[in-house]
Amino acid sequence: MKYLITIVGPTAIGKTALSIALAQHFKCEIISCDSRQFFKEMTIGTAVPNQEELKAATHHFIQNKSIFENYTVGDYEKEALQKLEELFQNNDYAILIGGSGLYVDAILKGFDEFPEIDPKVRAEVNSNYEKLGIAYLQEQLQNLDPAYYEKIEVENPQTLQNPQRMMRFVEVCIGTQKPYSSFLNQKKNNRNFTPILIGLEADREIIYNRINQRVDIMMNAGLPEEAESLYPNKALNALQTVGYRELFSYFDGDFSLPFAIDEIKKNTRRFSKRQLTWFKRNENTQWFDYATDRKEVIQHIALSIRQ
């Protein structure tokens, strides 16, 4: 039996430190599942593990792509599953760590399959979005797949503001002449491993304080300079992320620097709430306080393996 020990939780909660401790205990390697840490041009603002941490355990999918590459969650699913297959040839264990819920789900459960969409449809949807904005996409989805629109509105309303996701929903509806939701849950993806899910959490005040401290550390470590070097490419999809967007607004003259820093903290706190909401949906996750002794976490994993 092969086991994928999966560590989830909000940003700045201590997932990296726990993953390294577990990797050392189980003598295995780590697959990163943080979609912000894939890109080699983004280091400070994504809290990439430092050199000492990277030496303490073998990591995969850390700064292995460029922001100029079109890298999708589907691409990641294929590459990460292939890497896991390699790792499991020599070891019964591997660690999956990350705060990107969609990417965690890609590895643990996989995605539904959709027909190929005519590039002309994709171009037309994109063009209409450029002219009419997010309201066009929302209206289209509401008309073409009202049940799915309502589901998103109730369960994950921020998705309605995500142009990439919304364009995908609409292009599938138009390109197939069927509701997007009709393609969901059609296929069962088999995995050759058993996941053991570990969640880290803390009181909201503690999480928020840790986030605020991390942002201050990033600013002192040179995040403004890193963001400035990326500013000419600010339209790239990889850079539409907290910590960079706010500083781009500062460079544009829309924000003062203190206001940009406050916005980074506020938006990161909001992001952490969404992360917890996403991960709490999985009833199989065993949650631990972030300060729990690692021996207790290891004991839980050992018991899960024996069951």
Assess whether pLDDT exceeds 70 at residue 188. Answer: no
pLDDT tens, 83-105? 999 999 999 999 999 889 889 99
Assess whether pLDDT exceeds 70 at residue 203. Answer: yes
**Domain extents in the chain:** 3-111+189-306, 134-183
pTM attached to this predicted model? 0.80
Assess whether pLDDT exceeds 90 at residue 158. Answer: no
Residues annotated within the binding site are 9-16
Average pLDDT, the chain: 93
Amino acid identity, position 101: G
| Nearest-angstrom CA–CA distance, 202 and 194 | 27
| Nearest-angstrom CA–CA distance, 15 and 98 | 7
Instruction: State residue 247's pLDDT score.
Output: 98
Most confident of 99-103, 185-189, 215-219: 215-219
Which has more confidence, 186 or 18?
18
Helix (H, G, I), strand (E, B) or coil at 196: strand
Residues annotated within the binding site for substrate are 11-16
Q: Does domain 3-111+189-306 have CATH number 3.40.47.10?
A: no
Helix (H, G, I), strand (E, B) or coil at 244: coil
Residues annotated within the binding site for ATP are 9-16
- Cβ atoms of 118 and 32 closer than 8 Å: no
DSSP-derived secondary structure for 291-307:
TS-HHHHHHHHHHHHH-
Helix (H, G, I), strand (E, B) or coil at 147: helix
- Cβ atoms of 282 and 6 closer than 8 Å: no
Q: What is the DSSP letter of 231?
A: G
Instruction: State residue 9's pLDDT score.
Output: 96
Which has more confidence, 168 or 154?
168
CA of residue 18 relative to chain centroid, distance: 18
Assess whether pLDDT exceeds 70 at residue 187. Answer: no
- Cβ atoms of 5 and 301 closer than 8 Å: yes
Assess whether pLDDT exceeds 90 at residue 59. Answer: yes
| Nearest-angstrom CA–CA distance, 109 and 257 | 42
pLDDT tens, 226-285? 999 999 999 998 898 999 999 999 999 999 999 999 999 999 999 999 899 899 988 999
Burial per residue of 29-46, b for 16 or more beta-carbon CB atoms within 10 angstroms, e otherwise: bbbbbbbbbbbebbbbbb
